[in-house]
């Protein structure tokens, strides 16, 4: 049984609740345990995963958050840098699923977050578990 840490940015709590629902359901359906920690925003997710990975208490990680395009360049910074941070961790061999939505508007986020629609939270959890299985298989 794997221990999975979900790191979520609560900036859009109502959207994150949907992502969390999907991620937790996928992890539980696979027979694994999970914990959830909260960080202020998507930029903090990779740092929190890195800190948690150092403890050795978790086998895989899921990053969840929502970034909605606004009127400034900030959207690009948050979207690109959070993805870059998670990719760097993955390249270091940490099994991680990226469930940070980067969307134009709330309607897109709702469609992607809802477990009965695109279920991106569940997909991110399944990706983390798939990478954990691959890591185990490769030894």
Per-residue pLDDT of the chain (139 residues; tens, 9 = 90+): 999 999 999 989 999 999 999 999 999 999 999 999 999 999 999 999 999 999 999 999 999 999 999 888 899 999 999 999 999 999 999 999 999 999 999 999 999 999 999 999 999 999 999 999 999 999 8
Q: Is 44 annotated as a binding residue?
A: yes
112 and 101 in contact (C-beta within 8 Å)? yes
Q: Is 67 annotated as a binding residue?
A: yes
Q: Is the dihedral of CA 22, 28, 31, 33 positive or negative?
A: positive
Task: Determine the structural domain holding residue 114 and report its residue range.
Answer: 3-138
Q: Is 11 annotated as a binding residue?
A: yes
Amino acid 58: pLDDT: 98
Amino acid 62: pLDDT: 98
Amino acid 70: pLDDT: 87
**Order of strands across the sheet that contains 3-9:** 33-39, 3-9, 60-68, 96-103
Catalytic residue list: 74
Cα–Cα distance for residue pair 95/4, rounded to 1 Å: 10
Q: Is 98 annotated as a binding residue?
A: yes
Q: What is the CATH number of the domain that holds 79?
A: 3.40.50.960
Dihedral, 41, 86, 126, 68 alpha carbons, nearest 10: 40
Amino acid 71: pLDDT: 85
Q: Is 75 annotated as a binding residue?
A: no
Amino acid 73: pLDDT: 84
Q: Based on the structure, what is the number of domains in the chain?
A: 1
């Amino acid at each position: 049984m794997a221990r999975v840490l979900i790191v979520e940015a609560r900036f859009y709590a109502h959207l994150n609740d949907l992502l969390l629902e999907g991620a937790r359901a996928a992890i539980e359906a696979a027979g694994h345990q999970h914990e959830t920690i909260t960080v202020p925003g998507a930029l903090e997710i990779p740092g929190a995963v890195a800190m948690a990975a150092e403890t050795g208490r978790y086998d895989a990680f899921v990053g969840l958050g929502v970034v909605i395009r606004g009127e400034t360049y900030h959207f690009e910074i948050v979207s690109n840098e959070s993805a870059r941070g998670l990719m760097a961790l993955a390249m270091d061999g940490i099994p991680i699923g990226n469930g940070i939505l980067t969307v134009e508007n709330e309607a897109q986020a709702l469609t992607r977050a809802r477990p009965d629609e695109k279920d991106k939270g569940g997909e991110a959890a399944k990706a983390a578990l798939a990478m954990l299985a691959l890591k185990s298989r490769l030894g």
